[in-house]
Amino acid sequence: MPGTLRLTTYRADIGSVTPPAISVTELFVGSDGASPDAEADLRPVTGRSLAGTATRRRQKVLEWVVILAVGLCVAVVVRTSVLQAFYIPSESMVPTFEINDRVVVDKISYRVGDVHRGSIVVFERPTRSAGAIKDLVKRVIAVGGDTVEARNGVVYVNDSAVSEPYLRAPASTQNLAKTTIPNHFLWVMGDNRMNSADSRVFGPIPVGSVVGRVMLRAWPPTRVGFP
C-alpha cells in the first residue's frame, strides 16, 4: 500500500556464536598481512640496546688503535731493519751523488748475501778516520782476498784494469801500491777520486761495518734513479 512502511523483525540466536580467535600478531600489528618481523620496528629503545651500541663503538675505536699501532711498528721495523734514507753530505761521490741528494739504503741484502765489487755502500766511519759524520758512502772496489793497485790513473783489481764509467772524465786515480785485502774486509773509494777520503786514507773496512747497499737515488725528483 503506498505510503506504508513495513518493518520485518528477525531474531538471531547469538548464544551459540563463538568469537573469532585473535592472534598475538593481529593484536599488536593487525590482520592486514604484515610480517611478524615488523614487530621489531615497534620495540622501544632500551638501556640494553644503547649499551650494545656503545660497546660496538668502543670495539671499532680499539680496532683502529690496534691497526695504527701495528702500522707504526711495521714502519719502525722497516726503517731500522730493511730500508733507510740517508743524505749525501759531501762531494766525494760526484757525479754519482751530489751534495744533499737523498738515497735509499737496503739494509737486509748483505745480511743474507755477499758484498760485490762495484756496489755503493753506506758504512760506519772507521775509528781511525776523523770526522763528525757517523756514516760514509763509497763504492766497493775490491773484496777480501783481492789485490788492488792504481798506476797511470787506472785502478787494477787482481791485475786487471777496472772499467769505471761512473767517473767524471778526465778523472784519474793517484798511484797506489798493490795491496792485498784481508778476508772479511772491503776496499772502498769515492767516485770523485781527487776529493775523497776513503780506503786510501783509512785502509780496508770490515764487512761488519757496512750498514747497507745504496739501491735508489730518491731526491731531488730530477735525479731519481738507480745508481
- For 151, half-sphere exposure in the C-beta direction (CA atoms, 13 angstrom radius) is 10
* Cis amide leading into 20 (omega within 30): no
Catalytic residue list contains 107: no
Cα–Cα dist 94/156, whole Å: 21
Cell numbers placing 30: 593487525
Q: Which of 35, 49, 129, 138 is catalytic?
A: 138
Please state the three-class secondary structure of the chain as a single string: CCCCCCCCCCCCCHHHCCCCCCCHHHHHCCCCCCCHHHHHHHCCCCHHHHHHHHHHHHHHHHHHHHHHHHHHHHHHHHHHHHEEEEECCCCCCCCCCCCCCEEEEECCHHHHCCCCCCCEEEEECCCCCCCCCCEEEEEEEEECCCEEEEECEEEEECCEECCCCCCCCCCCECCEEEEECCCCEEEEECCCHHHCCCHHHHCCEEHHHEEEEEEEEEECHHHCECC
* Active-site position among 92, 119, 196, 199: 92
| Grid cell for residue 6 | 513495513
Which residues have a catalytic role annotated?
Answer: 92, 138
